[in-house]
Amino acid sequence: MDASNEPPANRYEALYRDFDSTLMRRIRREAYGEDIGQHSWVGADELRRDTGHLGLTHSSRLLDLGCGPCGPLTFVIASVGCSGTGVELSAAALRLGRARAASLGVEARFTLREADLDAPLPLEPRQFDAAMSLDVTR
Ligand SMILES: C[S@@+](CC[C@H](N)C(=O)[O-])C[C@H]1O[C@@H](n2cnc3c(N)ncnc32)[C@H](O)[C@@H]1O
């Protein structure tokens, strides 16, 4: 079956299975210069610049919609020292995200919600200071 025919939650399962393999890390290093675990076209410098515009501080709470394996989200949490919440449909991505947060030592400031962005979000209003959503398409 073509991946585009898969239900959204399963669409990236095959890719996420090997996402942190030596080969995939090497491909990301060669493609982006700096491997931050992104599954999008965002580079580390671009993310530093754009999150700089958000004025994030240690006390900020960042929301990442469609966080995937949480590379950009955990990168921002680790670099800024803020808190972050990721919302994502794929269970495989969430497993990778938890492992990445633990490997960076940011799990205390990191929260994940398994949810479909096409449905009402399971989040309380006004609990975030900034939001990002990188390359999230159907
Ligand atoms: C191309 S990846 C980008 C991941 C991440 N933003 C990054 O930059 O590395 C897109 C992600 O959006 C998720 N996604 C797509 N549609 C979604 C939906 N309706 N609800 C929740 N997540 C969704 C996919 O499962 C996938 O992990």
The encoded tokens of residue 133 equal 């959503």
- pLDDT band of residue 10 (cuts 50, 70, 90) is confident
Report the nearest-CA residue for atom 27 of ligand 1.
68
Instruction: Kindly give the distance from the C-alpha atom of residue 103 to the centroid of ligand 1, in angstroms, as a whole number.
Output: 21
Predicted TM-score (pTM) of the model is 0.94
**CB 7 less than 6 A from any atom of ligand 1:** no
Rounded Cα–Cα distance for residues 96 and 110 (Å): 13
Q: Are 49 and 55 in contact (CB under 8 A)?
A: no
Distances (CA, A) of 74 to 50, 57, 97, 108, 121: 15, 15, 8, 11, 21
Q: What is the DSSP string of 59-87?
A: T-EEEEET-TT-HHHHHHHHHH--EEEEE
Atom of ligand 1 nearest to the CA of 132: 6
pLDDT in tens, 49-100: 999 999 999 999 999 999 999 999 999 999 999 999 999 999 999 999 999 9
C-beta of 86 in contact with ligand 1 (< 6 A): no
pLDDT tens per residue, range 12-39: 888 999 999 999 999 999 999 999 999 9
- What value does the mean pLDDT take over residues 96-112? 98
Question: Quick one: which of 132, 63, 71 has its CA closest to 106?
Answer: 71
Q: How far is the CA of 3 from the centre of ligand 1 (A)?
A: 14
Q: How crowded is residue 24: how many other Cβ atoms within 10 Å of its Cβ?
A: 16
Domains belonging to the chain, first-starting first, are 3-132 (3.40.50.150)
Confidence of residue 1 (pLDDT cuts 50, 70, 90): very low
Asked whether 67 and 76 are in contact (CB, 8 A), the reply is: no
Whole-number Å distance between alpha carbons of 64 and 47: 13
